[in-house]
Amino acid sequence: MMKARPRMQATCSARSEFLLPLLFIAVSGLCIWQARDMSQLGAIFPVTIAVVILIAGVLRLGQLVMHGVHSNVGRERGSTPRRVLLVLAMTAWALIMPWAGFLLAGLASFVTLMLIAQHEPWTPRRLLGHLIAGAVLVAGFYGLFALLLNVPLPVGKWWMG
C-alpha cells in the first residue's frame, strides 16, 4: 500500500498558490509576445528572463498539482517594520546604483537585506556563509547581465571621476 504524500501548506490561501504561477506564466507569455517586435539582439534579455519565469511557473504548478495544497488560515502575520525596511532598502539600492555602480550597490543591498531578513541569532559560520553566498550571487548576476546578455550596467559615477 502506497503512503499518501503530505499536502503542501499554502502561504495564505490555497487558491493564491495556484493563481500566482498562472499570473507569472501569463505575464511571461505577454513579454515573449511583445518581444517579437524588437530586434534580435534587443529581445535576448526579455525573452531569456520570460522563458525562465515561464518554466518556473509551470514547474510550480506541477508541484502543486502533484502534492496538493491546503490553506494556511492560522498563519503568523509578518513583521510590518521588516516589510517597511525591505521597501526602503530596495529603494536605496535603486537610488545609489547610478552613483556606486552595480557591483558595490548590489553587495551593499545584499548585506542590508540579509540583516533585515535574519531571524536566527548570528554565528560566525552563518555570517560567513551568507557573505560568500551574497558575493557569488551578485557576481553571478553581473556575469549574466553584463557578459552573457550584454546589458549595460552602471559602473558608478564615483568611480568614473
Query: What average pLDDT does this structure show over 37-44?
Result: 86
SS (H, E, C) 13-62: CHHHHHHHHHHHHHHHHHHHHHHHHCCHHHHHHHHHHHHHHHHHHHHHHH
pTM over 0.75: no
Model pLDDT, residue 10: 60
Extract the C-alpha cell encoding 29: 507569455
Extract the C-alpha cell encoding 124: 560566525
Q: What is the pLDDT of residues 54-84, one digit of tens each?
A: 999 999 898 888 877 766 665 556 678 888 9
Q: What is the pLDDT of residues 12-27, one digit of tens each?
A: 666 777 888 999 999 9
Asked whether the CA dihedral 34, 37, 40, 41 is positive or negative, the reply is: negative
Query: What average pLDDT does this structure show over 46-60?
Result: 93
Q: What is the pLDDT of residues 126-155, one digit of tens each?
A: 889 989 999 999 999 899 888 888 888 888
Closest listed residue to residue 138, CA positions, set 150, 126, 153: 153
Model pLDDT, residue 24: 94
Dihedral-angle region of residue 144 (phi above 0 means left; psi in -120 to 50 means alpha; beta otherwise): alpha
Q: Which residue has the higher pLDDT, 5 or 115?
A: 115
d(CA 143, CA 129): 21
d(CA 39, CA 147): 19
Q: What is the pLDDT of residues 85-126, one digit of tens each?
A: 999 999 999 999 998 998 899 999 999 998 888 878 889 998
